[in-house]
Structure 1
Amino acid sequence: MKDIILKAENISKQYRLGQVGTGTLSHDLNRWWHQVRGKENPYLKIGDTNDRSTKGESDYVWALQDINFEVERGEVLGIIGKNGAGKSTLLKILSRVTAPTTGTIKFGGRVASLLEVGTGFNGEMTGRENIYLNGAILGMTKKEIASKIDEIIDFSGCERYIDTPVKRYSSGMTVRLAFAVAAFLEPEILIIDEVLAVGDAEFQKKAIGKMQDISRSGGRTVLFVSHNMAAVQSLCTRGIVLENGRIVFDGVIEEAINRYMLLDETDESYPKTFDKDSSVFGNSIVRLNSVDIISTLKENFFTIKEKLNIRIDFSTFKDIENFNLAINFKSFTDDVIIFSQITPVKFSEKGGYVSELVIPENFLNSKMYTIDLHFVCNNTSLLTINNVVNFEMVDFRDGINYYGVWAGYVRPNLKFDFDRKLNN
């Protein structure tokens, strides 16, 4: 039996654009008239999809539509998506900051949330006083809070300023203290928005380690929203991808991140070919014409057992001495997996060129990759293009997609020689 601690059923949230409130008096009267007759709110049938890039036709927009998911006790769930996808709206509903337009949420424990810098803190009160205030909001006694207060202060790193009003804290200090309060006062469900990005690298590392500890050893549940895919991957076991207010994927975190990375891909034949506007991907010295990933399959992925040919077509408009082309293969967390470059050309006449790089079979792991290109002259950059093309490697075994997870980004077939050692 699953131990479900949070269940969201048919959650939708509608907003009216441009004004505060539900709309005009006539709209409110219309809602009331339908309600007293036992009929559905008429404005639930109208409204545009949550797409921030389009103008839309209605004054109403659905920030979220038909959201359904369950979270097990002790699970760490990552909620990812582009800006405006509905992530923060969902967390505000889960934190009871705002109510859903339709749907219900069932909780199996106390909820603590970090949604914005300073949320839940009184700026006129000291850090110490705010710790007691937040603990009381979470339903803890003064004695329970006092038993944890030294750990909270030590973890936050704000001991010197703990008796200073919070309004004098920097945003980073405020987040440090707020996270320490939420983590150490032991809520069953901890909800964290992008606020950790405000903290420095040292604190982010501590915070992620603490969230891992409380989920694994404490059995507490964490809902985590971030655009830092490295943090999401290291912390979460499962991911939900939101797009235009709807869940488009719910599953293993690595597959969720791969799906998130593909949200901007509009070409369904997908990223085997690059062909961009030369005015953007070039200058008066060099221009990238195209990038092709050539393989034996005609699919939107490549298998780990096939050789890939990366074909780069470019033009130079001036004679260039000591010309060089470098290519980075990166992970979705921006880690460089492979760095390669063509042998520097002592003198290159202007004109069109094609460079080809071969990635051997059984080398890249079954993950998502992206490519950066660097055109260089005498160690000076002429043109850099990041994320030129994305591609995915897939592990096929006997014609079946294998969903097991292997560590690392490269998995070459290394030959191991060993001899049996005979005991005398």
Structure 2
Amino acid sequence: MSQQTILKVENISKQYRLGNVGTGTLSHDLNRWWHQIRGKENPYAKVGAVNDRSATATQDYVWAIKNINFEVKKGEVLGIIGKNGAGKSTLLKILSRVTSPTTGSIKTKGRIASLLEVGTGFHPELTGKENIYLNGAILGMNKAEINSKIDEIIEFSGCQMYIDTPVKRYSSGMRVRLAFAVAAFLEPDILVIDEVLAVGDAEFQKKAIGKMQDISKGDGRTVIFVSHNMAAVRNLCTKGIVLEHGTSVFEGNQNDAVDFYLEKDFSDHNSIIKSYINAKRTGKAKVIIEKALVYSENENSIIKTGHPIYFKYHIIKSSNIKNKDITLDFRIDDNEHNKLLWLSTGLKKRNQQVCSNNNFIIFEIPKCPLNVGQYIVTTQIRYQGVVQDWVIDAFSFKVEDGIFFNKVGEVSTKQSKLLVDFNLKF
């Protein structure tokens, strides 16, 4: 391992047995042992399904991560991104030594502190202050070192009033604040952070990102950061890794990694028909969206800035459910999940005669106000006020360059109302 490299991961893999706790049955354990004493390879290392959560299980074993290789130098901030279930948290648990890899090795220099889940490592019956000393001791700090940092930790966490209260009485946000402050101020050489900062409020997230930048740039320490916030990855990280189905599919500059992930994750943006098959849904499911169509002047035309844009949602419902009792909302985000637009059938006064019982609802924006780029849509259907079908990041679409202005420097009256004005058809 070179002088500057502080963490090196070589061929890390982690295998789990589906449907069981532990590595498997007694017969499998004996078989592994018999192969081991004869100097042969683990027979179950040759089998195992790919970590694709949407696929049907066909084998007893699955590789949560497979053959991961990378190295991080001192002072770098590594962003690990990927879909839910891609293996990010499993990788961080191995790096934090919460679990051991099935194969491969990890070489590190220095002390590792991890913030993997809300309240990880906190004893619920101990006070906030007592947990600071407990976590410091786990990290190898002595009492004098902790005493020198404890005032900064408490002040940064914003939990001064409750610092002598048992942690079990803290909210999830307070636990994250305190846990992050402990991990950051007790000066580990490598700080490992999972997607826990999403629990905190906007003010604390800003403070935490600023602190992580100070840790890497000012103190020259290393940060490994998992997040679904692409803007945070771009701003904070110096390099990125993209995981897909438990394997690394890209490693390089953080901006290139984010662009690769967004392009791959939403590869259907050029298609007019947006399928909802395999979409992760929540709700009562009395009414669901079967598919969506996004198009311009006709169903074969691409979407351009300043041109009409239509969102046609095909819904599945029983005949006794009337459209007048259905509310369909959808939100448009940019490719870094910044919220841009929200439209809802509830924003329009609907005449009973207009609300037919067709199995589709069409939104029309007369002139598309979106810039060139990719956009992500989240949809929600409510029936009589109860959520029936809520799909986050249901599909994406692409907007290409077009004419937004009637004349140079002039915007029409109709265009100025675009953010709130749209037409509906049932």
Counterpart of 2:375 in structure 1 is 369
TM-score w.r.t. the length of structure 2 is 0.71
Are 1:208 and 2:209 matched, yes or no?
Answer: yes
Residue 332 of structure 1 aligns with an amino acid whose one-letter code is: N
* 1:134-149 pair list within 5 angstroms: 134-149=135-150
Aligned residue pairs total: 375
Counterpart of 1:401 in structure 2 is none
Report SS of the residue matched to 2:120.
coil
Are 1:82 and 2:83 matched, yes or no?
Answer: yes
CA shift, 1:37, in A, is 1.0
Percent pairwise identity: 59
Counterpart of 1:48 in structure 2 is 49
**Per-residue deviation, residues 262-295 of structure 1 (Å, max 9, x unmatched):** 5554x77944665779x8559xxxxx9732379x
CA shift, 1:12, in A, is 0.3
**Per-residue deviation, residues 375-401 of structure 1 (Å, max 9, x unmatched):** xxxxxxxxx998686356899xxxxxx
**Per-residue deviation, residues 312-355 of structure 1 (Å, max 9, x unmatched):** 6799xxxxxxxxxx998641233356899xxx9xx998999997
Report SS of the residue matched to 2:8.
strand
Residue 127 of structure 1 aligns with an amino acid whose one-letter code is: G
In 2, the alpha carbon distance for the partners of 1:311 and 1:231 equals 32
Check whether the contact 1:273–1:389 (CA below 8 A) recurs between aligned residues: no
Report SS of the residue matched to 1:173.
helix
* 1:65-214 pair list within 5 angstroms: 65-214=66-215
* 1:243-392 pair list within 5 angstroms: 243-265=244-266, 270-271=270-271, 274=274, 280-281=288-289, 290-292=293-295, 330-335=333-338, 364=371, 368-370=374-376, 390-391=396-397
Relative to structure 1, the CA distance from residue 368 to residue 73 in structure 2 (aligned partners, 3 Å threshold; closer, same or farther) is farther
Task: Out of 63-72 and 167-176, give the one that drifted further.
Answer: 167-176
TM-score w.r.t. the length of structure 1 is 0.71
In 2, the alpha carbon distance for the partners of 1:171 and 1:331 equals 28
Relative to structure 1, the CA distance from residue 269 to residue 78 in structure 2 (aligned partners, 3 Å threshold; closer, same or farther) is closer
Residue 145 of structure 2 aligns with an amino acid whose one-letter code is: E
In 2, the alpha carbon distance for the partners of 1:174 and 1:25 equals 40
Relative to structure 1, the CA distance from residue 183 to residue 196 in structure 2 (aligned partners, 3 Å threshold; closer, same or farther) is same
Report SS of the residue matched to 1:194.
coil
Check whether the contact 1:78–1:224 (CA below 8 A) recurs between aligned residues: yes
Relative to structure 1, the CA distance from residue 72 to residue 356 in structure 2 (aligned partners, 3 Å threshold; closer, same or farther) is same
Relative to structure 1, the CA distance from residue 127 to residue 357 in structure 2 (aligned partners, 3 Å threshold; closer, same or farther) is same
RMSD, aligned CA: 4.6
Gap regions ≥5 residues in structure 1: 283-287, 316-325, 375-383, 396-413, 416-424
Relative to structure 1, the CA distance from residue 224 to residue 308 in structure 2 (aligned partners, 3 Å threshold; closer, same or farther) is farther
Check whether the contact 2:6–2:110 (CA below 8 A) recurs between aligned residues: yes
Relative to structure 1, the CA distance from residue 121 to residue 90 in structure 2 (aligned partners, 3 Å threshold; closer, same or farther) is same
Counterpart of 2:17 in structure 1 is 16
Residue 375 of structure 2 aligns with an amino acid whose one-letter code is: Y
In 1, the alpha carbon distance for the partners of 2:167 and 2:274 equals 51
Residue 16 of structure 1 aligns with an amino acid whose one-letter code is: R
